[in-house]
């Protein structure tokens, strides 16, 4: 066995890129899959100047637990290729011609 080399003890943790929204602020940050939610809160604290104990991070509607790693918190996370962007929520779709609210031309 060639143990003890670089990277012994499992695969290196992957970097994950995160988009965190707070009110109108959107933060893009990266962390390791092996980081805990608390570590992520510390990153956010450095940006938003809000201590970790005042933060609540959610994925969808699920409150993330401080002690869990990002990998555990986002189980089943699938990285979609950039070529197929996700469906936009209806709010963001351009109105189709039938539902367009156009002002009638002035007489």
pLDDT at res. 7 = 46
pLDDT at res. 76 = 64
pLDDT at res. 52 = 96
Q: What is the DSSP string of the chain?
A: --TTSTT-SSPPPPEEEEEEEETTEEEEEEEETT-BHHHHHHHHHHHH---GGG---EETTEEPPTTSBHHHHTTT-----TTSPPPPPGGGSPPPGGG--PPPPP-
| pLDDT tens, per residue, the chain with 107 residues | 555 545 444 567 788 899 999 889 999 999 999 999 999 999 999 999 999 999 999 988 889 999 999 988 887 655 555 565 667 667 655 656 555 556 666 77
Domains of the chain from N-terminus onward: 15-81 (3.10.20.90)
pTM of the model: 0.58
């Amino acid at each position: 066995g060639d143990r003890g080399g670089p990277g012994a003890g499992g695969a290196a943790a992957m970097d994950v890129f995160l988009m965190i929204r707070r009110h109108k602020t959107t933060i893009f940050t990266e962390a390791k899959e092996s980081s805990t939610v608390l570590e992520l809160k510390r990153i956010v604290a450095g940006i938003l100047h809000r201590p970790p104990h005042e933060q609540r991070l959610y994925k969808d509607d699920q409150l993330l637990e401080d002690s869990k790693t990002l990998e555990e918190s986002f189980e089943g996370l699938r990285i979609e290729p950039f070529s197929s962007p996700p469906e936009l929520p209806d709010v963001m779709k351009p109105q189709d011609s039938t539902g367009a609210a156009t002002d009638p031309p002035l007489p």
